[in-house]
Amino acid sequence: MRPGPGPIMIGPAGRHMCRPGPYDLRHHPTAMAHKRRLLTAAVGGVIGAAAWWRTHPSPCPYAQRFWVEAPHPLITRERLLEILAPDPGEQLLEIGPGTGYYSLPVAEKLNGGRLFIADVQQQMLDHTMRRATEAGVANIEPARADAQALPYANGTFDGAFTVTTLGEVPDPDQALRELARVLRPSGRLVVGELFGDPHMVTFGSLRARAERTGFGIDRRLGGPLGYFALLRPVR
């Protein structure tokens, strides 16, 4: 992060100065009050924007994909592979792949199996499929779909995962019910969340949602700043 400009000091000749002079704005009562008002407005704006994001779930726009292409600290690919433990031959589902940050490494572990990816944005699916083609990964099946109404039959998948996506869905409980429906009884679901994401689902909120949608939480990897949780259907 670049440091911001220091205090502006204007000397008698109107030139910027390095040290306080007789007209140093830092000590002028009107300038101080103005500064305080600006600061209050800025802080209020940031809090307001964060509150708006949290109460208005919406998909991360494709135009802002740099957020999902950046490294994901704490919720690394290695940690996802550890908790999801994809096995050769399995059929897995990913909800909200974005540009495929996790899709490719998971698909590569499924030798003989397939990874189905479902996203509401066609551009995200196209991006992931382009990357898969470039990397020679041929076992990913895309579908444009809403997590709240999945286009798959009951009991289709051995496992599913969804990372920094649940909070973007208008009704996360409905998405979890749909995931429970398309999983085999022995299936597993991994949910990943990261602090700083305006739509983060905290672990406490996930546990409450899991309890009312037919899942139990088996394991958690990580802490409040970023975690993967392993859920299993409770039948």
Buried b (16+ CB within 10 A) or exposed e, 107-126: bbbbeebbbbbbbbbeebbe
- 164 scored as a contact of ligand SAM (CB under 6 A): yes
- Using the contact rule CB under 6 A, the part of the chain among 158-166, 177-185, 215-223, 227-235 near ligand SAM is 158-166
Residues contacting ligand SAM: total by CB under 6 A: 21
Comparing CB distances to ligand SAM, the nearer of 121 and 156 is 121
In three-state form (DSSP H/G/I as H, E/B as E, the rest C), the secondary structure along 177-198 is HHHHHHEEEEEEEEEEEECCCC
Rule CB under 6 A: say whether 222 interacts with ligand SAM.
no
Q: Is 137 in the site for ligand SAM (CB under 6 A)?
A: no
How many angstroms separate the first and last alpha carbons of the chain? 50
| Residue from 95, 191, 200, 231 binding ligand SAM (CB under 6 A) | 95
When asked if residue 160 is in the footprint of ligand SAM (CB under 6 A), the reply is: no
All residues at 6 or more sequence positions from 148 whose CB lies less than 8 Å from its CB, including other chains: 169, 170, 171, 174, 175, 178
Q: Could you tell me the smallest distance in angstroms from the CB atom of residue 92 to ligand SAM?
A: 14
Q: At 28, which amino acid appears?
A: H
In 3D space, the residue among 147, 145, 156, 136 whose CA is nearest the CA of residue 90 turns out to be 156
| CB neighbour list of residue 132: distance below 8 Å, 6 or more residues apart | 100, 103, 104, 107, 138, 140
183-194 vs 157-163, strand pairing mode: parallel
Say how far apart CA 3 and CA 25 lie, in whole Å.
Answer: 20
Tokens matching residue 137: 């990964």
Residue 178 interacting with ligand SAM (CB under 6 A): no
121 belongs to the binding site for ligand SAM (CB under 6 A): yes
Candidates 124, 183, 201, 210: give the one binding ligand SAM (CB under 6 A). 124
Q: Which is nearer to ligand SAM, 107 or 120 (CB)?
A: 120
The only residue of 90, 146, 158, 178 in contact with ligand SAM, by rule CB under 6 A: 146
Q: Which of 90, 101, 142, 190 binds ligand SAM (CB under 6 A)?
A: 101
* Stretch 184-203 residues interacting with ligand SAM (CB under 6 A): none
Q: Which residue has the tokens 């599913």?
A: 160
Looking at the Cβ atoms of 63 and 153, the one nearer to ligand SAM is: 63
Nearer Cβ to ligand SAM, position 35 or 65? Answer: 65
Q: Which is nearer to ligand SAM, 11 or 105 (CB)?
A: 105
53 contact partners, CB below 8 Å, separation of at least 6: 198, 199
Under the rule (CB under 6 A), what is the footprint of ligand SAM?
Answer: 59-60, 68, 95-98, 101, 118-121, 124, 146-148, 163-165, 168-169
